[in-house]
């Protein structure tokens, strides 16, 4: 009878030792996960802490670029108008010269 009690106690002790070992292993895994998540949180905090200021600066840069772009578009429009006037002037000049040449030819032929 004593042997049976000793065997049962030994089995219970082994079972509890196994459970304690698994709990210790699980605790170690949880500590690693916790440390990893803490590191992620620190990195994301460092990154996101300055994000509003950076976003504001980028918005300002975009605003300035858009203003510069508007000025450039106005200049492009003015250059196009100048080019159109030059082309129109050239066409008028060519018509004037061709009409003068026709007039001269008609005078010579008559």
The 3-state secondary structure of 64-99 reads HHHHHHHHHHHHHHHHHHHHHHHHHHHHHHHHHHHH
Low-confidence ranges of the chain (pLDDT < 50): none
What is the pLDDT at residue 75? 96
Q: What is the pLDDT of residue 11?
A: 96
Q: What is the pLDDT of residue 16?
A: 97
The residue length of the chain stands at 110
């Amino acid at each position: 009878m004593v042997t049976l009690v000793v065997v049962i106690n030994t089995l219970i002790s082994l079972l509890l030792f196994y459970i304690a070992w698994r709990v210790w292993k699980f605790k170690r895994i949880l500590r690693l996960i916790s440390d990893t998540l803490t590191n992620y949180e620190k990195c994301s905090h460092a990154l996101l802490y300055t994000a509003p200021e950076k976003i504001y600066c980028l918005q300002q840069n975009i605003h300035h670029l858009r203003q510069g772009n508007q000025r450039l578009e106005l200049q492009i429009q003015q250059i196009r108008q100048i080019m159109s006037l030059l082309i129109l002037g050239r066409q008028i000049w060519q018509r004037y010269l061709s009409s003068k040449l026709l007039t001269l030819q008609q005078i010579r032929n008559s």
